[in-house]
Amino acid sequence: MPNRILILGCPGAGKGTQARQIAERFGIPHISTGDMFRSHMKKGTVLGKQIEDYMHTGQLIPDAVTCRMMVERLAEPDCANGYILDGFPRSVPQAIELDNMVVQRTEALGVVIALQVTDKEIVDRLTARRTCPKCGRIYNLKYEQPKIEGICDSEGCDAVKLVQRDDDTEATIRKRLAVYHRVTEPLLAYYAERGLRQDVMGENRTPDEIAAQIEKLLITDGKIV
């Protein structure tokens, strides 16, 4: 059965970290809308400039823009045998559009992983987050510091200084959380009603411990669900 997984959680819950591990573990593409948007911003496209304005004010990207990008991405050959979606859908209308996409392709979502983390923990995490402007690697000054203070550890990034993204300041984080609770959180009920949601505690555990919880949910008779 094709492996189609969705991971949900508020900003900073650890979706990206877990999605990358799942993608590597099971050999499916990790599709991150955040990465796609940042690529446009880095290239300075018209879309990228629009996206930058929305992200820096803590707002969501319009559904029409996001859904158009996802339709094109899911049509690519590497998605034929499954994928893990990270950052999409972010609203019930986007979820309905995703349902339409998979039905048109005679597919179905296998499971929706919901990472549970409190707002307080999210603010603490994100204000301590630093990013390498060259390779995109993310560190957290509380949990995962680089070997040399303020410098990326990745190969080829010698002497590259880590930066705090504009959207990782406390004021913007709280705006993003407010948007999440209003717009994205209803997805938890949406997928619970469809019998797809599986809650995973994303707090007071290491990333590896969280990954182990998720793997138990995904593995059945040695195969991904």
Annotated catalytic residues are: 15, 90, 129, 165, 176
- The CA distance from 195 to 49, in Å, is 38
Is the distance from CB of 83 to CB of 4 less than 8 angstroms?
Answer: yes
- Name residues whose C-beta falls within 8 Å of residue 141's C-beta, 6 or more positions apart in sequence: 128, 129, 130
State both tokens at 12. 């900073």
Is the distance from CB of 190 to CB of 98 less than 8 angstroms?
Answer: no
H or E segment to which residue 124 belongs: helix 119-127
- The CA distance from 55 to 140, in Å, is 20
Q: Please give the backbone phi and psi of residue 18, each rounded to the nearest 5 degrees, phi first.
A: -70, -40
- Name residues whose C-beta falls within 8 Å of residue 13's C-beta, 6 or more positions apart in sequence: 115, 116, 117, 122, 202
